């Protein structure tokens, strides 16, 4: 299950270190490394993507996409979004620009929907258009991929999107929908990282198709995959929410089985044990894990110049931990860097055009659903 809202605190910014060997978080220490500016307030925002002109598209849980201008605070609803089933963890989810947005104006987004047979996560695209009177819509919207199968329930949709560095492929996450076994089912896309062509069809030569898997599957054995990002060397990093314990950062490689629900460094919520990752068990272990959990939200690979000391780090939004978490990368290795108490559930973190960090809180409008901009302190 996703971890619930907990009581929030005033905004505090504290750095902490962590012990990688045990997966435990160390006591907080250190000074505030950035200043925080409150830019706007949204109603349960989920994700954002910056346009080339500095404006941003922001998705909200209930199904609204908003064109937001940080310079003047203007918010314009974006028409053309399909009906969203936002019960439970359902939402209008990720939003990402096409690699060729300047030419094709295409916006990709994900959302949860109800259809015959149950509910699932869908991937769609449409052309961004703003008329002379300011009205804005996505034109020609079409769903290009749906998870399979659709099932009952309102959890673990995942729905994160990332494009390969060469712009040829789209990677899409499908959560296991709190059903456990589909993560290991070769015919299901649930509990998987998928590799698609830009039109939503399965990419050719995906590594498991010849073994009888759904042809879109790139890796499997995942739980609730709420962040994927490529680093500068083209490595694909993913973070996912574990069960009771065992939140993970994984280095995604083609064809590998990441173990869930056969193995995990957490346990079932009812207290039943899940075997831990062990060398030689046949499953790919996480590069990093947390217990106590951080409840990871969005994932960012930072490549900007505003915070040079953090270049080539991963940033994770923490939900139940109410934190912004930094992960240090060294080739194919990852280690815990910093964890800052943000006083609110953090759903997503993005890099702005100038290299600033932009953070979306998880709450409602007027109740910690804010957009924050982080810049160097001092």
Q: Find out whether 85 and 100 touch, Cβ atoms under 8 Å.
A: no
Q: Find out whether 327 and 338 touch, Cβ atoms under 8 Å.
A: no
pLDDT tens-digit series, residues 23-35:
555 334 346 699 9
- Stretch 354-368: mean pLDDT: 92
What are the chain's domains? Answer: 16-366 (2.120.10.30)
- Stretch 81-90: mean pLDDT: 98
**Per-residue pLDDT for 309 more than 50?**
yes
**Per-residue pLDDT for 300 more than 80?**
yes
- Stretch 39-55: mean pLDDT: 97
Active site residues: 156
pLDDT at 4: 45
Q: Backbone phi, then psi, for 66, in 5-degree steps?
A: -125, 135
- Stretch 346-371: mean pLDDT: 95
pTM of the model: 0.92
**Per-residue pLDDT for 130 more than 70?**
yes
3 state SS for the chain: CCCCCCCCCCCCCCCEEEECCCCEEEEECCCCCEEEEEEEECCCEEEEEECCCCCEEEEECCCCEEEECCCCCCEEEEECCCCCCCCCCCCEEEEEECCCHHHHCEEEEEEEEEECCEEEEEEEEEEEEECCCCCEEEEEEEEEEECCCCECCCCCCEEEEEECCCCCEEEEEECCCCCCHHHHCCCCCCCEEEEEECCCCECCCCCCHHHCCCCCEEEECCCEEEEEEECCCCCEEEEEECCECCEEEEEECCCCECCCCCCCCCECCCCCCCCCCCCCCCCCCCCEEECCCCCEEEEEECCCCCCHHHCCEEEEEECCCCEEEEEEEECCEEEEEEEEECCCCEEEEEECCCCCEEEEECCECCECCEEEEEEECC
pLDDT tens-digit series, residues 158-213:
999 999 999 999 999 999 999 999 999 999 999 999 999 999 999 999 999 999 99
**Per-residue pLDDT for 268 more than 80?**
yes
pLDDT at 32: 67
Q: Backbone phi, then psi, for 240, in 5-degree steps?
A: -145, 150
**Per-residue pLDDT for 306 more than 50?**
yes
Q: Across the chain, what does the average pLDDT equal?
A: 92
pLDDT at 171: 99
pLDDT class of 5 with cuts at 50, 70, 90 = very low
């Amino acid at each position: 299950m996703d971890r619930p809202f907990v009581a929030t605190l005033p905004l505090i910014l504290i750095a902490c270190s962590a012990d990688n060997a045990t997966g435990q978080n160390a006591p907080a220490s250190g000074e505030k490394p950035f200043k925080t500016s409150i830019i706007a307030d949204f109603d349960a925002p989920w994700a954002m993507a910056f346009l080339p002109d500095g404006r941003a598209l922001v998705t909200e849980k209930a199904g609204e996409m908003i064109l937001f201008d940080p310079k003047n605070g203007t918010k314009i609803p974006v028409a053309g979004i399909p009906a969203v089933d936002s019960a439970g963890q359902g939402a209008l989810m990720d939003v990402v620009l096409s690699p060729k947005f300047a030419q094709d104006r295409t916006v990709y987004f994900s959302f949860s929907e109800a259809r015959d047979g149950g509910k699932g996560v869908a991937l769609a695209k449409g052309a961004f258009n703003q008329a002379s009177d300011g009205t804005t819509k996505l034109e020609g919207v079409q769903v290009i991929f749906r998870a399979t199968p659709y099932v009952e329930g309102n959890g673990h949709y995942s729905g994160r999107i990332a494009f390969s560095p060469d712009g040829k492929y789209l990677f899409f996450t499908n959560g296991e929908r709190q059903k456990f076994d589909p993560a290991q089912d070769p015919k299901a896309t649930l509990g998987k990282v998928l590799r698609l062509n830009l039109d939503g069809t399965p990419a050719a030569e995906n590594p498991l198709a010849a073994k009888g898997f759904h042809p879109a599957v790139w890796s499997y054995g995942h739980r609730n995959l709420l962040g994927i990002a490529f680093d500068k060397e083209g490595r694909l990093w993913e973070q996912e929410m574990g069960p009771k314990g065992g939140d993970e950062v994984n280095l995604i490689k083609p064809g590998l089985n990441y173990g869930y629900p056969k193995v995990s460094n957490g346990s079932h919520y009812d207290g039943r044990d899940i075997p831990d990752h062990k060398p030689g068990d046949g499953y790919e272990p996480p590069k990093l894990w947390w217990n106590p959990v951080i409840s990871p939200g969005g994932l960012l690979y930072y490549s900007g110049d505003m915070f040079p000391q953090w270049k080539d780090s991963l940033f994770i939004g923490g939900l139940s931990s109410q934190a912004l978490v930094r992960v240090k990368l060294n080739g194919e290795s990852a280690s815990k860097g910093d964890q800052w108490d943000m006083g609110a559930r953090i759903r997503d973190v993005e890099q702005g055009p100038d290299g600033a960090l932009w953070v979306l809180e998880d709450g409602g409008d007027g109740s910690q659903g804010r957009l924050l901009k982080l810049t160097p302190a001092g």
